[in-house]
C-alpha cells in the first residue's frame, strides 16, 4: 500500500502582509495596556517612568535603540500624544521586536511560536526550510482538526482548512531556530485553540507510550485534534535537533479562550519522542477506515486501454466528499455514461468507498453512475472549464489513468 507525502498539497501560508496587516494602527485604536503587554512579550524591558502614569520601555538586545514612553492608561491629557510618538518610533525602528509589536496591534492575533535547539553552526537554508516546513504542517494540522477529528485526514477537508490559513501571517525564521505565526483572533482563533489542545494531548500520549509501551492514549487524543498530520509535523520539527518547542501566546486584548491555559508555556519535544510519534502516525494511517460516500463531480479525465471494457475516470468533486478530486475504476457501462456526461457538460453522481490508500483520493467499489441535471448557467461554466482544459480529456484510446 502506498501513500502520498503528507506535505504534497500544502497551501503556502501567507509569507507577506495581507490586506489589513500593512496599515499602521491609529493611536485612538490602541489600548495602552495591550501595547505594554505586547512590548513585554517581545522582549522589551520597562526601565522606570512615572508610576501610574507612564513607563519607559527599551528594546531587547545589545545596543538598544530609542526608548518608548507608553502611558499606562488614557487618564491623562497627554496619553494620545505619547501613544502617537510610541507608534511612530516603532514604525521607524528596524528591529523585528518592533515590527512584531506593530503586527499585534494592527490585527489582534494569537501568536504560535516554534523554537528548535540546533547545533551551533552557521545557519543554512536547509535549517530554515526545515523550520518553515514544520510550521506550515503544524498550522495545517491544526486547521484540519477544526474541520474534523480523525486520525488521518489525507486529502480530506483541505479546502476549508486552507481557507482558515489565508489570514495567518508567518514571520521571519531566525537562523532556523525560531519562527512566529500571527493568527488573527477574528478569523482563525479556532485554529490556535485546537492546536493548543492537540499539542498537550500529543505530549501526554507520547509520555504514556514511552512509559508503558502502549499507543492506546493516541486513540483518545484524536478527539483533542491529534492526527497523523500533526505527528508528522512534529517529526519534521524535532528531527536533526536536540529538542524543540511550540508555544501559543494569546492576544492580550482578546483574553484566554475557555478551556485553555494562560501561562503560554511551550510544549516540548525531544529526539527521544520520535519513535513514539512515528509509531502513532503509522497507527493512524493503518486504522483510518474507508468512508462510504455518494460523490457528485465533474469528469475531467477518462482513460482505458482499448475501445471497450472497463476504464478509469477522474472526477473534480462538487459535493459528497471533502476532497478536491477522486479517481474511480468503472465497468464498461458506467464508463460510457461518464464519457457521455462529460461531453454534455454534465456532472455525474456515483457511489463507493473513499479509501485511505492514496490519501482518500480513490473511490473503490464505485457503481451506479448517473448524470446530474444542472441549470444552464452551471452547465455553461462546466463546458467552459472543459474547453480551457482539453489536454486533460483523453478518449478511450489512451493508456491507463496515471496513479499519481
Q: What is the mean pLDDT of residues 341-351?
A: 90
Q: 310, exposed or middle or buried, with CB in 10 Å at 0-12, 13-18, 19+?
A: middle
In the structure grid, which three cell numbers stand for residue 349, read together?
453522481
Q: What is the mean pLDDT of residues 241-247?
A: 95
pLDDT in tens, 20-70: 566 778 888 899 999 999 999 988 988 877 777 888 998 887 655 678 889
CA distance linking residue 249 with residue 165, whole number of Å: 18
Confidence at 401, pLDDT banded by 50, 70, 90: very low
Q: What is the mean pLDDT of residues 289-294?
A: 92
CA 58 to centroid of chain Cα atoms: 34
Give the predicted TM-score (pTM) of the model: 0.81
Q: Which among 310, 295, 304 has a CA at the least distance from the CA of 363? A: 295
pLDDT at 220: 94
Residue 403 reports pLDDT greater than 50:
no
Q: Which residue in this structure is represented by grid cell 474534523?
A: 148
Which of 97-106, 141-150, 172-181 is predicted most confidently?
Answer: 141-150
Assign 3-class secondary structure to 336-358.
HHHHHHHHHCCCEEEEEEEECCC
SS3 content of the chain, % helix, strand, coil (to 5): 40, 20, 40
pLDDT at 52: 76
In the structure grid, which three cell numbers stand for residue 35, read together?
501595547
User: What is the secondary structure of 85-151 as a DSSP string?
Assistant: HHHHHHHH--SHHHHHHHHHHHS-EEEEEEEE---SS---HHHHHHHHHHHHHHHHHHHHHHH---S
CA distance linking residue 235 with residue 287, whole number of Å: 20
CA distance linking residue 146 with residue 144, whole number of Å: 5
Q: Return the CA Rg of the chain.
A: 26
Confidence at 264, pLDDT banded by 50, 70, 90: confident
Q: Provide, rounded to the nearest whole percent, the portion of the chain with pLDDT above 90.
A: 53
pLDDT in tens, 138-166: 999 999 999 999 999 999 999 889 999 99
pLDDT at 306: 83
pLDDT in tens, 186-206: 999 999 999 999 999 999 999
Give the least confident one: 46-50, 77-81, 355-359, 385-389.
385-389
Amino acid at each position: 500500500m502506498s501513500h502520498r507525502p503528507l506535505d504534497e498539497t500544502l497551501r503556502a501560508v501567507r509569507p507577506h502582509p495581507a490586506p489589513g496587516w500593512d496599515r499602521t494602527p491609529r493611536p485612538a485604536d490602541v489600548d495602552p495596556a495591550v501595547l505594554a503587554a505586547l512590548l513585554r512579550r517581545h522582549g522589551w524591558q520597562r526601565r522606570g517612568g512615572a508610576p501610574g502614569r507612564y513607563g519607559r520601555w527599551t528594546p531587547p538586545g545589545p545596543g538598544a535603540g530609542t526608548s518608548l514612553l507608553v502611558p499606562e492608561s488614557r487618564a491623562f491629557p497627554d496619553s494620545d500624544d505619547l501613544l502617537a510618538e510610541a507608534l511612530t518610533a516603532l514604525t521607524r525602528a528596524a528591529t523585528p521586536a518592533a515590527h512584531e509589536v506593530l503586527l499585534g496591534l494592527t490585527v489582534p492575533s494569537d501568536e504560535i511560536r516554534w523554537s528548535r535547539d540546533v547545533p551551533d553552526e552557521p545557519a543554512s537554508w536547509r535549517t530554515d526550510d526545515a523550520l518553515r516546513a514544520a510550521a506550515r504542517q503544524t498550522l495545517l494540522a491544526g486547521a484540519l482538526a477544526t474541520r474534523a477529528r480523525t486520525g488521518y485526514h489525507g486529502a480530506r477537508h483541505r479546502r476549508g482548512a486552507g481557507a482558515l490559513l489565508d489570514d495567518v501571517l508567518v514571520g521571519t525564521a531566525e537562523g532556523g531556530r525560531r519562527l512566529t505565526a500571527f493568527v488573527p483572533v477574528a478569523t482563525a482563533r479556532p485554529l490556535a485553540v485546537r492546536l493548543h489542545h492537540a499539542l498537550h494531548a500529543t505530549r501526554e500520549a507520547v509520555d504514556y507510550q514511552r512509559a508503558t509501551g502502549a499507543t492506546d492514549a493516541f486513540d483518545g487524543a484524536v478527539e483533542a485534534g491529534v492526527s497523523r498530520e500533526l505527528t508528522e509535523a512534529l517529526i519534521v520539527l524535532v528531527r536533526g535537533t536536540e529538542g524543540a518547542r511550540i508555544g501559543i501566546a494569546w492576544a492580550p486584548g482578546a483574553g484566554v479562550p475557555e478551556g485553555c491555559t494562560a501561562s503560554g508555556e511551550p510544549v516540548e519535544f525531544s529526539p527521544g519522542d520520535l519513535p513514539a510519534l512515528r509509531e502513532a502516525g503509522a497507527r493512524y494511517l493503518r486504522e483510518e477506515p474507508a468512508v462510504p460516500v455518494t460523490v457528485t463531480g465533474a469528469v475531467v479525465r477518462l482513460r482505458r486501454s482499448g475501445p471497450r471494457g472497463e476504464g478509469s475516470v477522474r472526477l473534480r468533486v462538487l459535493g459528497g466528499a471533502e476532497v478536491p478530486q477522486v479517481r474511480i475504476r468503472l465497468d464498461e457501462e458506467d464508463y460510457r455514461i461518464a464519457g457521455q456526461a462529460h461531453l454534455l457538460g454534465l456532472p455525474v453522481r456515483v457511489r463507493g468507498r473513499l479509501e485511505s490508500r492514496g490519501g482518500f483520493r480513490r473511490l473503490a467499489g464505485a457503481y451506479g453512475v448517473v448524470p446530474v441535471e444542472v441549470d444552464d448557467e452551471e452547465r455553461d461554466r462546466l463546458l467552459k472549464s472543459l474547453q480551457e482544459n482539453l489536454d486533460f480529456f483523453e478518449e478511450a484510446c489512451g493508456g491507463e489513468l496515471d496513479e499519481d
